[in-house]
Structure 1
Amino acid sequence: MGGLRDEEQSFYEAIGGEPTFRRLVGAFYAGVASDPYLRSLYPEDDLGPAADRLTLFLIQYWGGPTTYSQTRGHPRLRMRHAPFAINEAARDAWLGHMRAALDTLELPADQRDTLWQYLVNAADALRNTPG
């Protein structure tokens, strides 16, 4: 019966839980901080709160604790991003930094590909400006 636990393991647990998502988001925001174009899209002087929000969201989405919803309510990603002009260039810049961050994790190919496909789909879904 030990095999049942493996089948029930969430993606969150399979990739290493909170520390993995913190490393991913930390590496991502290090890239954002040094990108003049993308950095201009973040209204806060300190990227720390944005990093915390993204970390908690990803943790919850992938099966970890629901701290994001407990503190911020329903994710409503499109609504929360509506005030920002997210065009193809912004999406591509975001994905470029996220890809570099994802590669630092050295996940097995299947896990890396699963996470990457989600990130691409999410970035595409949040585009709200032509071009």
Structure 2
Amino acid sequence: MDYHISKTNFGETPDFEYPKALFLEEMGEERLVKLFSDFYDLIIDSDIGNFFPQEEEELEKIKAHNVKFFIEAAGGPKYYTEAVGHFDMLKTHEQFSITEKARREWLGTMEEVLRKVDISDEAKQSFWDFLETFSKHTVNVGERLELEDLVVNKG
């Protein structure tokens, strides 16, 4: 498994591929629901926990709602589309200031729960590759340049 995280070029919306059908076949809906439940249980205690409801009842609603999108993205039934309609990544996340650092925190938490899932590396890699690229669409705030980014090589 390669849990590589590439840098987002702010403002770009890169093309992505949905996970292979193999991912949902191996996971099944029930285990995918558990994966996202475990993910949200961890993310609320992370550096970006403020993006998510801290009240248990509200968090459970977010878990149930958001996993519908990922089941559908993985080739499952159209639960999300039937409940919500078209998904607009930018509009959904515009209420939050999501930086590259926040995206990496989100992905790091997902990696933590995904590592524990017992499915083939091919299926897992397919899902990871989807998340890694698709998550770039959530970044809506550019990062400040760090000092090392400003250093000019005078060769």
* TM-score normalised according to structure 1 size: 0.84
Match of residue 66 from structure 2: 54
Match of residue 101 from structure 1: 113
Identity of aligned residues (%): 24
Corresponding pairs, count: 122
Question: CA offsets per residue over residues 69-101 of structure 1, 9 Å max, x none?
Answer: 111111112211111111011101100111111
Is the counterpart of residue 30 in structure 1 residue 37 in structure 2? Answer: no
Is contact 1:91–1:123 with CA below 8 Å preserved after alignment?
yes
In structure 1, runs of 5+ residues without a counterpart are 1-8
Is the counterpart of residue 42 in structure 1 residue 82 in structure 2? Answer: no
Report the structure, 1 or 2, having the larger helix content: 1
Flag the structure with more relative contact order, 1 or 2, with Cα contacts below 8 A and sequence separation at least 6.
2
In structure 2, runs of 5+ residues without a counterpart are 1-19, 144-155
Is contact 1:32–1:38 with CA below 8 Å preserved after alignment?
yes
* TM-score normalised according to structure 2 size: 0.72
Q: CA shift at 1:106, angstroms? A: 2.1
The more displaced of 11-20 and 86-95 is 11-20
The more displaced of 24-33 and 112-121 is 24-33
Root mean square deviation of aligned Cα: 1.8
